[in-house]
Structure 1
Amino acid sequence: MTERSVSHTSFVIERDFPAPPARVFNAWSDPDAKLSWSDCHTDARESEFSMDFRHGGHERYRVRLPEGLLIAVEKVFFDIVPDQRIIFGYDILIGDKRISASLVTVSFESSRKGTHMTYTEQLALLDGFTDVEERIHGTKEGFDRLELLLRDAAHA
């Protein structure tokens, strides 16, 4: 029998972006823009992505890594306030093992630099999964790509 466990943690990432809140929010709400900065598995053999950005809508991402491992992410949007806030929940499966379930709040505030974004993730880590530092690192890398996307759009 598989040993079952759950532990909880959270983390917060704050970023300032050189764009107004409406543009930063759009990078989260437009499926093409979202995939361009949030896909951290560009070496994948195959991937699927779909997003229905509305209250109760779903986002699905599946990727098969070069070594054959399947990663699946399922999200549901709980609250969306245009240009101000997004709240969603998601889980991650690696192969057939669910490693975590999370609740995320992303807030956007106008600032002197453009937008101050606060990302808060509350995680339930399942059945021995403990690599929170990898999750934080991957999330920060995505936000680095989001900043590049916003800077490129500003210069276009």
Structure 2
Amino acid sequence: MSEPTATATNPDLVIHSTFTLERRYPQAPARVFFAHADAAMKRRWFTDGEGWEIFSYALDFRVGGIESSRFSFQGGPEITYDSVIQDIVTDRRIVFAYRMTVAGAPISASLSTIEFKPDGRGTLMRYTEQGTYFGDPNAPAGREHGSRELLEKLAAELDRTS
């Protein structure tokens, strides 16, 4: 995950942006879906990593359930991630709405959809984020970059545990 922007350059600036990322995994859709549904596995690829200090992480994987974390990057300000799961179709789709803050100030609110499609013996995973970003004109590009990094961390976790 890339470090979120710590301070807004223009607190009145609101940016709306949508991006879609696709990544193929050699594992079946059920396995890739499980990597999102299992709290221990998801924590390893979603929050843990070099330079990150994790203060808390929770995942209640059900419609209406929450995922939340508090963390910092290299001793920087506290960052929060709070998500509510909106829709689950087992092995096919997850939809969630999430909000992020840095040092208590909101930096974004997003609606995200993850789709899992059979692709030969593996999976084509499509991640779409419709985001509202506050104060930083570079935030959408940074979020897309960080999301790409997470897809690679997911690949490493799947390879490690398969």
- TM-score normalised by the chain length of structure 2: 0.87
Equivalent residue number for residue 70 of structure 2: 62
Amino acid at match of 1:98: P
1:27 aligned to 27, 35, 57, which one?
Answer: 35
Equivalent residue number for residue 91 of structure 2: 83
2:131 aligned to 120, 123, 131, which one?
Answer: 123
Partner of 1:107, secondary structure, is: strand
CA drift of 1:63 comes to 0.5
1:132 aligned to 129, 133, 140, which one?
Answer: 140
Equivalent residue number for residue 116 of structure 2: 108
Q: Can you list the C-alpha shifts for 1:85-110, whole angstroms capped at 9, x where unaligned? A: 00000011000210110000000011
2:20 aligned to 12, 17, 40, which one?
Answer: 12
CA distance in 1, matches of 2:74, 2:112: 29
Q: Can you list the C-alpha shifts for 1:43-71, whole angstroms capped at 9, x where unaligned? A: 23442100111000000110033334100
Partner of 2:146, secondary structure, is: helix
**Structure 1 unaligned blocks of 5 or more:** none
Partner of 1:23, secondary structure, is: helix
CA distance in 1, matches of 2:143, 2:104: 19
Question: Bigger shift: 121-130 or 77-86?
Answer: 121-130
Partner of 2:52, secondary structure, is: coil
CA drift of 1:127 comes to 3.1
Tell me if structure 2 keeps the 8 A contact 1:40–1:138: no
CA shift in 2, pair 1:3/1:28, >3 Å: closer
CA distance in 2, matches of 1:150, 1:41: 15
2:45 aligned to 16, 32, 37, which one?
Answer: 37
RMSD across aligned positions (CA): 1.7
Q: What is the total number of aligned residue pairs between the two structures?
A: 153
CA distance in 1, matches of 2:54, 2:118: 38
Tell me if structure 1 keeps the 8 A contact 2:37–2:61: yes
Percent identity over the alignment is: 35
**Structure 2 unaligned blocks of 5 or more:** 1-9
Question: Bigger shift: 141-150 or 60-69?
Answer: 60-69
CA shift in 2, pair 1:130/1:89, >3 Å: same
- TM-score normalised by the chain length of structure 1: 0.90
